[in-house]
Structure formats: structure tokens, C-alpha cells
Amino acid sequence: MKKYAVPIALFAAFEAVAITLWLTKGNPFYLFNFTYIGASVALGAALFIQGNKNARRVTQLLVGLYMLVYLGLISRENMQIEGFWYYLFTGVFEAATIHYAVAKIFGPLLFGRGWCGYACWTAMVLDFLPYKVPEQPRKQIGWIRYVTFVASLVFVAALFLAHVGNLERIMFWAFIVGNIAYYAVGIALAYAFKDNRAFCKYICPITVFLKPMSYFARIRVTCDHSKCIECGKCRRVCPMDVDMLDDARSRKNGTECILCMECVRNCPKKAL
């Protein structure tokens, strides 16, 4: 059992959130939601410990499909960034706002960009593409994320200022159209830049929250330099161009790490 301390702790942390929200909000949905996500994350962690190289993808598919299909399409909850603004403006602290607070704003102080590695339904599809490791140097176009971030805010603010009716319906269709656009742009960029995660690096508006918060992440990859033989394999397998051999928080692309553990899994000396 000691071997599985991490998955058990992860499940317990999610269960604590599940029970707290269930009791404080009086809604059993939170118990189901966070128990399911906690079980999916714990399963992935357990598979990783067993050496299964698809461990992360199992969690990513279990959580990503649940959010996209059940929460988004069946329950009609817009979990995209415009849904976050919408529920924030209406003053409703419900699913989308709680989701952002836990996964994308305050959670990254603990688990960095774990959301991007294990749950995001956009990356869930992009990770099936052929360029798992970037084949071209990084582009200097990360500013686009601020444009998409502001555009999502202006879009929702304009709907409120214009007193547009039936906003719930508009948000549902914004979710559908937004996801189709994300997949189309994400796939096109992956092939153009030979990099599955190009969308994450340059376009995704959520990184405006994720990057600064994950700078302070408690859970992060560090190197035991007494074991490292400087073979460089870790850098060659990283999808996000992180310099994981530098332990400083300001390391190159440090706020890009998605905790995929490819560097850890491939290190021949178990130095990471």
C-alpha cells in the first residue's frame, strides 16, 4: 500500500473537495463530480507507478471526455473561458466558476498545470497527433493568448451590456462553436509548426491564468544533480520545451510544464 501513497493522497484530496462542496452547496452533483475526477486521477497515478506508459492518457481521456460530453454537451455547462466570465458576471458560484477556481486559478499553486496534462479535452485530442515532441524551434507569438483572453471577456461583456436575451442558449452554442474552433486551429497549428502543443503555447487564453499561478506550484519536476549524467534525454522528450535540469522557478519555459512526466519516465538515472 505504501507504494500507492500518492494515488491514495490524490483521491483523498479530491474527496475532501467533493464532500466540502456537497455539504456547503447542498448539491450531490459535487460529490459525484469530484469523486469521479479524483478516482480518474488516482487511477492514472497508480498506473504510472506500475510503469504503464499510457497512464497519463488514461486519466486525460476519462476526465476530458466526461467534461466535454457529460458536462458540456449533455448538461449544457459552458466550461470554456467565456462560460467562466458568464457565470462570474451573473454572480453564480456554480460549476464553471468552481471548476476555474479549483483547476485553473488556485489549484495551480499546488499542482501547476496538471489540468493541461491530465484533464483538458482540447489537449486530449491534440495529444493524438504525430508531433509529441516539437520538431521546430519555439515561435515568439505567445502574445496571441492575451488577444484571445481579452476577446472572450469582451464577447461576454458585450452580451451583458446589450441586454441580449436567452444567454444560457447562447453560452451553449458558444461552447459548441468555440470547441470546434479550438480543435480546428489546434490541429492546423500542430501540423504547421510540427508541434502537438502549439495551441497551448501560443493561443490558449486559459494560460493567462495558468502560467503565473503555476510559477509558484508546490508540485514540480526538479533534478537530483548528484545522479544526473547530463545525457540530455529529458530535454529531448519534453513536449513543452522546459529546462527541467534547472531547478530555479525562473527556468526556461518553467510555467509551461504540464507534469506529463515524460522526462521522469525517460531518465535513465532516475534523477528527476
Contacts with ligand SF4, residue ranges (CB under 6 A): 116, 120, 122-123, 199-200, 204, 206-207, 221, 223, 228-234, 237-240, 242, 244, 257-263, 267-269, 271-272
Of 17 and 244, which has the nearer Cβ to ligand SF4? 244
Find the shortest distance in angstroms from Cβ 102 to ligand SF4.
14
Of 31 and 203, which has the nearer Cβ to ligand SF4? 203
SS3 call for 11: helix
Of 22 and 199, which has the nearer Cβ to ligand SF4? 199
Q: Cell numbers 452554442 label which residue?
A: 173
- Cβ atoms within 10 Å of 31's Cβ, excluding its own: 18
Find the shortest distance in angstroms from Cβ 100 to ligand SF4.
11
Residue 86 near residue 96, CB atoms below 8 Å: yes
What is the spatial distance between Cα 186 and Cα 122, in angstroms, rounded to a whole number?
8
Can you say whether the dihedral through the CA atoms of 22, 23, 25, 28 is positive or negative? positive
Of 21 and 217, which has the nearer Cβ to ligand SF4? 217
Can you say whether the dihedral through the CA atoms of 17, 19, 24, 29 is positive or negative? positive
Find the shortest distance in angstroms from Cβ 162 to ligand SF4.
28
Find the shortest distance in angstroms from Cβ 126 to ligand SF4.
7
